[in-house]
Amino acid sequence: MLPIFMDRLLAKAGALTDIEQLTAFADYKLPQVLRHFGVLEYLPSLAQRIDAQELLEAGSEEEVELRAATIWACELLRRELARHGRIMTAAEIDLRLWLLGQNSSAMQPYHRTRTIYY
């Protein structure tokens, strides 16, 4: 079930009847949250670059892998939740993780990438 404000937002944006078909949105916050909770583990060399807040080139192997791993991790979370009777869409999982990331002062830095796509 979507939070009330999400229902209202979707109603204003248009009728989406197949939101369950959406994947998580591979932005910069979700990998940070997934890393914090041990869902994603970075190679030490990548972790060092991210922790040093070095810029990852848009479209680079590291940046694309982070985005792909984020989408897949959210899908695996969705499946595991469903297996335990907790039905959620990837978009709902995305929203919850993103909201957790808004209080990220205790988390390691998020990856930096200059891009218009997220």
The residue annotated as part of the active site, out of 7, 18, 27, 94, is 27
Cα end-to-end distance, the chain, whole Å: 25
Angle at alpha carbon of residue 39, lines to 42 and 22, rounded to 5°: 105
17: nearest Cα among 99, 89, 97, 78: 89
Write out pLDDT tens, residues 59-74: 999 999 999 999 999 9
| Cα 19 from Cα 110, distance rounded (Å) | 27
Residue 86 backbone dihedrals phi, psi, to 5 degrees:
-105, 95
How would residue 118 be classed by pLDDT, with cut points 50, 70 and 90? confident
Supply the pTM of this predicted model: 0.81
Of all helices (H) and strands (E), which one includes residue 46? Answer: helix 44-51
The model's pLDDT over 76-103, given as tens digits with 9 standing for 90+, comes to: 999 999 999 999 999 999 999 999 999 8
The values of phi and psi at residue 55, to 5°, are -75, 130
The answer to whether residue 27 is catalytic is yes
